[in-house]
Amino acid sequence: MVDQLQQELKIKQNEIDSNSLKIIQFQDNQSKLESLLNSLQFKYDDSIKQNDILNKQNQSTLNNLTKAQEDCNNQISQITNLNQLLKNKENDIEKLNKQLQETLDQLTSLQKDSQDITYLQRQIQIQLDQYPQSLTFSQSFKHNNCQISQNGRVVFETANSSWYCCICDQMIPKHGLVKFAFKILDNNQVMLGIGFRDIIQKYNYQNASQIGRGTYFIYYDGRCFNHDQQDKDNKYIALQVKSRNINIIQQMNNIYIDLFQQHIGQ
């Protein structure tokens, strides 16, 4: 009986020892598991922190990229504006070059005109130099009631029923400045001037002072009569033609005339 009890006690003791060992192993495993859990928690927390850092870095990078994109868009806009300004300047330069070329063409044309004018002036001066120093009244280009004497130096009327015209033989040059003088022997309502011979001839050298009759006359009392200037016709705008004076007619471009006088006292 005692042996049996001892045997049972020994079995129980073995069971207790086995269970104690299991308990110790369980506790050891539990400790290891807690250590592993703590390590995992630490790694998890560290991963969360690293993720937050990465998110912040990514957000900063995104902000930088956004700002860089805005800067790039601004630079593109500035480049576009600069290109437009450059295009406008190129257009302005093209216009200025065109204006410059037109100005150069005008200058070339003016230089050519100046050369032509210089040539014409020389030709005119040659004509003026060749123009006779004395005029003679024509035996042909006159009214029948105009009498010529002293080799064409004197003309007088043989009748006074109308206005009669007598033209000099020498034609006045169409260009340049020409002066010619007459001495009035008898101040009997005389007219002096210039005119177009074909028109005067058309009206038979009579009443040539009227509008459209081809003459530019100064009347003895200072009135002017002309071919085509209605506002100056029959107006007192010249000196009076006086007898015993040298009356100088100045003609320019076959239209405009002035009267000067030189008193000779005899």
Q: Comparing 121 with 33, which gets the higher pLDDT?
A: 33
Q: What is the pLDDT of residue 9?
A: 74
Beta strands in the chain (DSSP E): 137-142, 146-149, 154-157, 166-168, 177-183, 191-195, 215-219, 223-226, 235-236, 245-252, 256-263
Across 23-37, 191-205, 216-230, 246-260, the highest mean pLDDT is recorded for 191-205
CA–CA separation, 240 and 227 (whole Å): 20
What pLDDT score does 201 carry?
A: 92
- What average pLDDT does the chain have? 79
Report the predicted TM-score, pTM, of the whole model to 2 decimal places. 0.47
Q: What is the pLDDT of residues 83-130, one digit of tens each?
A: 999 999 999 999 999 999 998 888 888 888 888 778 776 766 666 566
Identify the pLDDT of residue 255: 43
Q: Is the pLDDT of residue 265 over 50?
A: no
pLDDT value of position 129: 63
Backbone angles phi, psi at 42, to 5 degrees: -60, -45
Q: Under 8 Å CB-to-CB from 263, ≥6 apart: which residues?
A: 242, 244, 245, 246
Which residue type sits at 107?
L
Predicted local confidence at residue 187, as pLDDT: 56
Tokens representing residue 117 in the block: 């004018």
pLDDT above 70 covers a percentage of the chain that reads: 79
Query: Which range in 162-166, 168-172, 189-193, 252-256 is most confidently predicted, on average pLDDT?
Result: 162-166
Q: Does residue 26 carry a pLDDT above 80? A: no
Residue 1 pLDDT > 70, yes or no? no
